[in-house]
Structures are given as C-alpha cells and as structure tokens.
C-alpha cells in the first residue's frame, strides 16, 4: 500500500471515531421522572413556570440564588434551584428549558433557556386578517 492510502485510512478511522463520540453525547428533552430515576446525571427538562407556587429571589440577601417551581411536559411539578441571577422577564416565558440534575427531590440547574412570546404575533394576526 502507498503511504497516501494508509494516511487516508487513518484519517477516515479517526473521523468515524469522532462522529461516534459526538452522536453519543447528543441529548433530548426529558421529564422530571427520568431525571429522578438517574439522580446525579445531567438532563435537559422542558416545561412551563408554575405561577401558582412561590418564586424565591432576594438580590439583597443573595443575588445568586433563585428558586421556582416548574411543571414539565407530563404535568409533574418540582422545585427548581438555580445558583445565578434571575433572568430578565422570566415570568413572561412561554417555555423553559433547564439543564441540570435532580438532587433529593429538587432539580438543581446550571443553565436556563427561555422561549419568550414573539413580539411579532400581533402583526402576523393583523396581516392574516387583512388578506381575508
């Protein structure tokens, strides 16, 4: 075999190995029940803010402690603890995606992503009614 063929085979083998390790790391959205089964493992949980329960954030006492209750896509509600500042317009979020792990009945997250309502919804509704 030529040296170029051997080098090409090595490059292909390395790239296949990299692809396999990356595919195994992709995660999907889970529920609190799944996170509770494997406590300590990091998950992405999607849900909505439970406005019936109390949110705790006192920036004068501790600006890096924020807790609230979230309902996942199956309807299960749990307390969420976030060690960071409360995101701006958190109450207006349509959906919340948390990255973290369960610890003793509480979900401790290290990242919060919010899907906020679109400011263009009213414009789209007005445009569609004009077309009718």
Q: Taking the domains of the chain in order of start, what are their residue ranges?
A: 28-117
**Contact by Cβ (8 Å): 26, 72:** no
* pTM for the predicted model, two decimal places: 0.68
Q: What is the pLDDT of residues 7-61, one digit of tens each?
A: 999 999 998 888 877 665 555 788 898 888 988 889 999 999 998 999 999 989 9
53-76: average pLDDT: 92
**Contact by Cβ (8 Å): 72, 32:** yes
- The 10 Å Cβ neighbour count of residue 18 is 10
**Contact by Cβ (8 Å): 71, 47:** yes
Domain 28-117 sits in which CATH superfamily?
A: Nucleic acid-binding proteins (2.40.50.140)
pLDDT at 89: 87
The Cα 70–Cα 72 span in angstroms is 6
Q: What is the pLDDT of residues 96-112, one digit of tens each?
A: 999 999 998 899 999 99
């Amino acid at each position: 075999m030529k040296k170029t063929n051997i080098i090409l085979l090595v490059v292909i083998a390395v790239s296949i190995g990299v692809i396999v390790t990356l595919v195994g790391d992709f995660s999907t959205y889970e529920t609190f029940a799944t996170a509770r089964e494997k406590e300590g493992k990091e998950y992405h949980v999607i849900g909505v803010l439970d406005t019936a329960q109390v949110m705790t954030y006192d920036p004068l006492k501790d600006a890096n402690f924020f807790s609230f209750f979230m309902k996942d896509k199956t309807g299960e509600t749990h307390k969420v603890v976030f060690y960071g500042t409360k995101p701006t317009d958190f109450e207006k979020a349509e959906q919340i995606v948390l990255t973290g792990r369960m610890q003793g009945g509480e979900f401790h997250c290290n990242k919060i992503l919010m899907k906020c309502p679109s400011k263009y919804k009213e414009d789209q509704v007005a445009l569609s009614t004009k077309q009718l």
